[in-house]
């Protein structure tokens, strides 16, 4: 009975994920379709005019599906089949892993450290101004500044300053970076380095292969989105770092997992969209049923803490709720533009989704967990935009919100190389 339920759940996860992936790829290939339906102003646009993504996405997906089918049927030439088997079975020792890790991080830090001197006021003037205004009054909300509570209706900057100051952990870390290092960008850069390390260990934990962890790490390092925002304090990576650690701790020290998730929430409330996917991750975790129940209860406690914190004061989030289904599809439509420089991630979406499903069917149930996290990553931005128009304009220009998608696609590719395969 339990096995049958698990199989049904795997199919539901796969069908949900591949549906959103296909819709997302459709929006990338035909960007005018959703705009012609949901854009609030009259525009002359051809709904089915293809973008430059048509040939790369369709060709890459077709080649992968054909190659995967003939590999599954063992119709490939013997040498090609042996080559694929060699890659799937390849592993590296701890010593080689440490040496490769040192080399990778020396090059990464060496090429990125000069970015610490870049003034973000010139990169993101509006957002930097909002952050500086928030830092001037944090942690207090009492100030003579016109942008401090109470906000007048429609005062966007005031709301954004309040929203910044509700990210208690994030603001504390940024203040610490200024006071300790006299540079607001130091701790965000440390967080990006730590994110890479945690990604390696999380991939290794799931796949049981160090080589998979190195592959996932390199995939993130080739991402334009990660390399562009890795040292940016305005759009730091504290939230995704704490979230990844919380996932890692589920199988290591589940008692601490919800605490790290709470830190992620108070770094960026955006991570709340991943709550249900985290519960599913716990369900698929390799821990006892008793520990799973207690872990889920601890996450329930996180929700109670969040509600208690915001019940003691006026929450900025209640002022920005404005549900609109059209915003969901318009935000979903921006994926191709937002990740236009991350070609590999876009091309890998469909192959990774299908590959993870077949990996799950072989008994590697944590492949479902990566699928559900990819689904949550794709829906997070559109979901927030649907609830409030507060973020839509930023979704168009801030690809850092899709960093979880990049990370989980990278981990998903690492899972292909797991010992289970």
**DSSP letter for each residue of 337-387:** HHTTT-HHHHHHHHHHHHHHHHHHHTT-THHHHHHHHHHHHHHHHHHHHHH
Convert the pLDDT of each residue in 295-319 to its tens digit.
Answer: 999 999 888 888 777 666 555 555 5
237: pLDDT strictly greater than 70: yes
Q: Which residue has the tokens 């704490």?
A: 242
3-class SS letters over 122-156: HHCHHHHHHHHHHHHHCCCCCCCCCCCCCCCCCCH
pLDDT score, position 354: 93
Q: According to the model, what pLDDT value does residue 4 have?
A: 78
Average pLDDT over residues 31-51: 82
Q: Say if residues 247 and 281 touch (Cβ distance below 8 Å).
A: yes
Residue with tokens 């870390």: 173
**What are the pLDDT digits (tens) for 345-398?**
999 999 999 999 988 888 888 899 999 999 999 998 888 878 775 544 444 547
Cα distances from 372 to residues 17, 64, 233, 256, 404, in angstroms, run 7, 22, 29, 22, 12
Peptide bond into 139 cis (omega under 30): yes
Q: What is the pLDDT of residue 156?
A: 64
Q: What is the pLDDT at residue 322?
A: 64
Residue 410 burial (CB count, 10 A): 27
- pLDDT tens-digit readout, 89-115: 889 999 999 999 999 999 999 999 999
Q: CA of 418: how far to CAs of 18, 211, 266, 408, 415, in Å?
A: 22, 9, 34, 15, 5
| Residue 7: per-residue pLDDT | 84
Burial class (CB in 10 A: 0-12, 13-18, 19+), 1: exposed
Please, are residues 368 and 203 in contact by the beta-carbon 8 Å criterion? no
Most confident of 119-133, 149-163, 301-315: 119-133
How high does pLDDT run on average in the chain? 86
Give the whole-angstrom CA distance, residue 23 versus residue 284. Answer: 27
Q: What is the pLDDT of residue 288?
A: 92
CA–CA separation, 356 and 421 (whole Å)? 11
Helix runs in 30-166, H state only? 32-38, 54-72, 78-89, 94-112, 120-123, 125-137, 156-165
**pLDDT, average across residues 175-188:** 94
Contact by Cβ (8 Å): 244, 407: yes
Contacts of 140 (CB under 8 A, 6+ apart): none
Residue 70, CB-side half-sphere exposure with 13 Å CA sphere: 12
**Does 122 score more than 90 pLDDT?**
no
- Give the per-residue pLDDT at 26: 94
In whole angstroms, give the CA distance from residue 129 to residue 382: 26
| 6 contacts: CB under 8 Å, gap ≥ 6 | 365
Residue 87's pLDDT band, with cuts at 50, 70 and 90, is confident
Q: Minimum mean pLDDT among 140-154, 251-265, 326-340: which range?
A: 140-154
């Amino acid at each position: 009975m339990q096995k049958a339920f698990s199989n049904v759940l795997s199919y539901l996860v796969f069908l949900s994920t591949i549906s959103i992936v296909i819709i997302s790829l459709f929006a990338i290939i035909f960007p005018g379709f959703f705009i012609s339906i949901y854009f609030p102003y009259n525009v002359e646009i051809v709904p089915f005019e293809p973008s430059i993504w048509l040939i790369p996405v369709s060709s890459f997906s077709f080649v992968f599906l054909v190659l995967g089918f003939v590999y599954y049927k063992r119709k490939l030439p013997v040498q090609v089949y042996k080559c694929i088997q060699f890659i799937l079975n390849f592993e590296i020792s701890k010593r080689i892993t440490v040496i490769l890790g040192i080399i990778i991080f020396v090059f990464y830090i060496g090429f990125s450290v000069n970015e610490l001197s870049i003034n973000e006021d010139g990169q993101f003037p509006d957002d930097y101004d909002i952050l500086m205004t928030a830092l001037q009054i944090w942690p207090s909300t009492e100030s003579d500044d016109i942008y401090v509570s109470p906000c007048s209706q429609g005062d966007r900057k005031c709301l954004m300053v309040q929203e910044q100051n509700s990210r208690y952990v994030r603001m504390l870390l940024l203040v610490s970076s200024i006071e300790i290092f006299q540079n607001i960008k130091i701790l965000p850069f440390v967080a990006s380095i730590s994110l890479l390390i945690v990604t390696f260990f999380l991939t290794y934990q799931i796949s049981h292969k160090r080589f998979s962890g190195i592959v996932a790490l390199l995939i993130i390092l080739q991402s334009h989105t990660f390399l562009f925002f890795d040292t940016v304090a305005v759009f730091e990576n504290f939230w995704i770092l704490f979230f990844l650690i919380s996932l890692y701790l589920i199988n290591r020290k589940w008692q601490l997992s919800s605490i790290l998730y709470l830190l992620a929430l108070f770094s960026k409330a955006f991570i709340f969209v991943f709550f249900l996917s985290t519960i599913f991750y716990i369900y698929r975790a390799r821990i006892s049923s008793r520990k799973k129940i207690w872990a889920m209860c601890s996450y329930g406690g996180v929700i109670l803490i969040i509600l208690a914190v915001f019940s003691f004061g006026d929450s900025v989030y209640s002022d920005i709720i404005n549900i609109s289904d059209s915003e969901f599809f318009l935000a979903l439509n921006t994926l191709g533009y937002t990740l236009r420089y991350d070609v590999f991630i876009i091309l890998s979406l469909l192959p990774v989704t299908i590959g993870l499903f077949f990996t799950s069917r072989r008994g590697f149930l944590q492949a479902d967990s990566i699928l559900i996290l990819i689904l949550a990553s794709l829906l997070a931005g559109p979901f927030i935009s649907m609830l409030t128009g507060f973020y839509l304009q930023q979704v168009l220009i801030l690809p850092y919100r899709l960093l979880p998608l990049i990370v989980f696609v990278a981990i998903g590719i690492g899972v292909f190389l797991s010992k289970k395969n």
